[in-house]
Amino acid sequence: MKTILFIITAFTSMTACESTNQHSDTSNPVVQTLEQANLSDKLKEKDVVLVDVRTPEEVAEGYISGASHFINFYDDDFQTKIKSLDSTKTYVIYCRSGGRSGKAAQFMIDNGFTKVFNLSGGISSYSGEVAK
């Protein structure tokens, strides 16, 4: 009987810890993934900024409508430009397929931004309107 009680107590303690860890911790923000299907709704929210981190040549081929910042990931002043953004806003970052934007988004989190989303699949997976 004591063994069963011990197992139940241990299991309850473990699941309580697990559920606590699943809640977002605002003191330790992380890059969130934004699925393509949710982009339109996210951009309708207040203080959401869409940032394209592709090269100027890539941008010239077309960009996601609503993008307001074009910061080339490969530029020498990339980090300076990112740090100059308003860290109180919410950012959706994208590139061609998600690699550069993932690194850019993590850089933002590491530098005090708290609400940063990496667009899953980048513009390669985007099926909406493309501007030029």
State phi, psi for 130 to the nearest 5 degrees: -115, 130
- pLDDT tens string for the chain (132 positions)? 554 444 444 433 333 333 333 334 557 899 999 999 999 999 999 999 999 999 999 999 999 999 999 999 999 999 999 999 999 999 999 999 999 999 999 999 999 999 999 999 999 999 998 999
Exposure string of 36-54, with b = 16+ CB inside 10 Å and e = fewer, is beebeeebeeeebbbbbbb
Nearest-CA neighbor of 89 among 33, 41, 51? Answer: 51
pLDDT at 8: 41
pTM, entire model: 0.79
> Which one is the CATH code of 28-131: 1.20.140.10, 3.90.79.10, 3.40.50.1820, 3.40.250.10?
3.40.250.10
Question: Of these residues, 34, 82, 95, 116, which one is catalytic?
Answer: 95
- Asked if 17 is an active-site residue, the reply is no
Tokens 């959401």 belong to residue? 48
| Domain layout of the chain by residue ranges | 28-131
Q: Which pLDDT value is given to residue 129? A: 87
Q: How many Cβ atoms are within 10 Å of 116's Cβ, its own excluded?
A: 24
Distances (CA, A) of 86 to 12, 34, 67, 123: 43, 20, 16, 24
